[in-house]
């Protein structure tokens, strides 16, 4: 599969997982769901492209290295998305942090299952 198709597949999977979960977590308005979708359009391709580039430099056969790289990248995405959610939607900071964490944990888990199985 080409890199562009991989990026599109990763984005589609992320949206498919995160939008219903966002609604379950209380972000049900059109504005809130559009915000989640747009934030994913900004962060997901960057994260996945970075992963694609890093795959050339990181020893993915060493599980500890791969896990540390993935956790660090996801942590940055959680923080960026948390701040963007707060900026656009407002609300309680802690709640939006937990929403960002839940959304990213779910989509990262789905991505791992999809790409590794």
* Alpha-carbon span 87 to 46, nearest angstrom: 20
Q: What is the pLDDT of residue 28?
A: 97
- Summarised one tens digit per residue, pLDDT across range 52-74 is 777 777 766 667 777 788 889 99
State the greatest distance between any 2 C-alpha atoms of the chain, in Å, as a whole number: 43
* Alpha-carbon span 14 to 17, nearest angstrom: 5
Conformational region of residue 59, where left means phi above 0, alpha means psi within -120 to 50, and beta covers everything else: beta
Q: What is the pLDDT of residue 61?
A: 67
| 3 state DSSP class of 56 | coil
Record the pTM: 0.90
- Summarised one tens digit per residue, pLDDT across range 2-47 is 878 988 999 999 999 999 999 999 999 999 999 999 999 999 999 9
């Amino acid at each position: 599969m080409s890199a562009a198709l991989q990026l599109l597949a990763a984005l589609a999977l992320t949206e498919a997982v995160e939008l219903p979960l966002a609604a379950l977590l209380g972000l049900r308005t059109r504005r809130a769901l559009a915000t989640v979708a747009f934030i994913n359009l900004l962060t997901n391709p960057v994260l996945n492209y970075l992963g694609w580039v890093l795959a050339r430099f990181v020893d993915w056969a060493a599980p500890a290295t791969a896990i540390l790289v993935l956790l660090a990248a996801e942590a940055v995405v959680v923080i960026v998305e948390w701040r963007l959610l707060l900026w656009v939607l407002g609300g309680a900071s802690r709640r939006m942090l937990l929403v960002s964490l839940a959304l990213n944990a779910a989509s990262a888990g789905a991505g791992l299952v999809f790409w590794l199985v």
